[in-house]
Amino acid sequence: MKTKVDIDYSSDWPLAPAPESMSHINLKEKYDLFINGKFVKPKSGKYFDTFNPANEKLLAKVALGDADDVDIAVKAARKAYTNVWSKLSGKERGKYIFRLARIIQERAREFSVIESLDGGKAIRESRDIDIPLVSAHFFYNAGWADKLDYAFPNRKPKSLGVVGQIIPWNFPLLMASWKIAPALAAGNTVVIKAANTTPLTLYKLAEAVKDAGIPDGVVNVVSGRGSVVGMAIVNHPDVNKIAFTGSTGVGKIIMNAIAGTGKKATMELGGKAANIIFEDAALDQAVEGVINGIFFNQGHVCCAGSRLYVQESVYDVVLRKLKGRMQSLIIGDPLDKNTDIGAINSKDQLNTINEYIKIGLKEGAEIYQPECTLPKKGYWCKPTLFTHVAQSNRIVQEEIFGPVLAIQTFRTIDEVIEKANNTPYGLSAGVWTDKGSKIFNMTSQLRAGVIWANTFNKFDPASPFGGYKESGFGREGGIHGLEPYLKFD
């Protein structure tokens, strides 16, 4: 009989705390709207609180905008577009965006810490992934500003005008860069809504926009309720295009609102990605990829690999390795450099996730969570794995947006393709196998916009990102990401 050898993660030598210093960050008590190059009070005079989800402490007060503020912001953006931005050469436009990219690099540490404070994500991620990518997105798109004619042969690209953008709370600054960078490079001006639970870094970006000397009104930031500020942007008659990242449900509300108006749109919506492990895969790497696929950013990722399909012959060993690896994850203070999994973004989101865990149990699935102690204050969820689930279970069908993985098995390629594609979503998918021909078979059959083969959750400004089916349309990143911000003769 073979003996199982597992790594023993227990130790008498726990890691010493390694908190990132907060001494260099600069947070105001109150953040006003950023309109026409100035920080201005909201017309309502009202503010809302933004908390640190890891300890429920107040971080700052943020302007609660409304439709009047949006109107002022759109007017500022239109004025800036007509008088300044559309008259600049692509080259000059590009130089402003390059400047912004550099300032973000210079202030990367400050931005990372604030991103982790406001959103609960591990500093390791905001420091090594979010903020470097933010800068990279501005850098990449800056260079396009004076080269658009080469991107679309025979097409004479022209800017659209004023673009309305709405971003989610999971990667606040990164999503802002995905939106703002191509919009500016293409020659548009922007009104962007900050996410409700994580508005701070977008206002920090506004400071950087100011420091970069980007003309007043080219970038305007508003915050407030989605149903008020978001819908005011969507419905404003002088907005030429809507770019939205968020849930499929809200995406549909927006698409309904702009039907028949002639407004352009990009929708980057929900997902329920299949991550598929074949028996010939390098299993340790695959398990690492599964962990990264579902627990990256506490699972608050639209392209998270939340459905795991394991070929039957290696199911037992994959499950054992996965559980072992989950036991080794460090959950706790987002600002600690050793932390793997930080805090759940908000109380509401924690409730949603817990609700889904209950649903999973009720549906008869078997749950596994590693043994660990969670901090007493703040919003926390143990990494969670469900086995014995069926394709029809809600935890397999619906986007949970949390650290919850559902595992199923398969025997043949046809079977797993059918199961993987059997969802209204089509944002991303993962394939793990050592056989190249199998990878290309899988990647051509999976109906999803981004396929990771022997890797997962990788992003780059040069790499187009976006979905099939109800995961939305339009691409962000790469040459493809410019098209949604341009019109053609």
Partner 1 sequence: MSRIAILKTYKIYIGGKFPRTESGRFYQPKFDNKALANMCLSSRKDFRNAVVAARKAQGGWAHKSAYNRSQILYRIAEVLEGRKAQFVAELALQGSTEALAKEEVNLSIDRLIYYAGWCDKYIQMYSTVNPVSGSYFNFSVPEPTGIVAAFAPEKSGLLGLVTQICSIIAGGNTCVILASESKPLCAITFAEVLATSDVPGGVINILTGNRAELLTHFGSHMDVNAVLYCGADKNDIKTLQELAVESMKRTRIREDGDYFDAKHENPYYIFDFQETKTTWHPIEQIAGAGSGY
Give residues in contact with partner 1 (CB under 8 A): 136, 153-155, 248, 251-252, 255-256, 258-260, 267, 269, 424, 439, 443-444, 448-455, 458, 460, 462-466, 468-473, 475, 478-480, 488
What gap in Å lies between CA 395 and CA 307, rounded to an integer? 9
Q: Decide: 255 and 286 in contact? Cβ < 8 Å.
A: no
Residue 198 to residues 48, 113, 171, 355, 414, Cα–Cα distance (Å): 12, 13, 9, 23, 42
- How far is 34 from 219, CA to CA, in rounded Å? 8
Task: Give the active site residues.
Answer: 268, 302
Q: Tell me the closest approach of the beta carbon of residue 454 to partner 1, in angstroms.
A: 6
Nearer to partner 1, 66 or 470 (CB): 470
- Name residue 245's amino acid: T
202 to each of 39, 208, 220, 269, how far by Cα in Å? 13, 10, 10, 20
Alpha-carbon distance of 78 to 159, in angstroms, equals 12
Residue 250 contacts residue 401 (beta carbons within 8 Å): no
Cβ within 8 Å of residue 164, ≥6 positions away: 74, 191, 192, 193, 233, 234, 236, 239, 241, 242, 243
Residue nearer to partner 1 on the CB measure, 367 or 451: 451
472, two tokens? 């939305």
Count other Cβ atoms within 10 Å, centred on residue 20. Answer: 22
Q: How far is the CB of 355 from partner 1 (least distance, A)?
A: 25
Nearer Cβ to partner 1 (415/460): 460
Pick the closer one to partner 1 by CB: 347 or 480.
480
Give the strand order in the sheet containing 38-40. 38-40, 33-35, 219-222, 189-193, 162-166, 241-245, 264-268, 472-473
Quote the least distance from Cβ 447 to partner 1, whole Å: 8
Nearer to partner 1, 79 or 480 (CB): 480
Consecutive H or E run containing 57: strand 57-63
Q: For every residue of 326-358, which 3-state class applies, written as one string?
A: HHCCCECCCCECCCCECCCCCHHHHHHHHHHHH
Cα gap 385→97, rounded to integer Å:
43
User: CB of 201: closest distance to partner 1 in angstroms?
Assistant: 22
Query: Rounded to whole angstroms, what are the CA distances from 137 to 124, 225, 460, 481?
Result: 19, 27, 8, 11
| Closer CB to partner 1, 32 or 470, in the complex | 470
Closest approach, Cβ 449 to partner 1, in A, equals 6
Q: CB 276 → partner 1: shortest distance, Å?
A: 14
User: In whole angstroms, how close is the CB of 481 to partner 1 at the nearest point?
Assistant: 10
Give just the sign of the alpha carbon dihedral 34, 37, 38, 41: negative
- Which CB atom, from 172 or from 449, has the smaller least distance to partner 1? 449
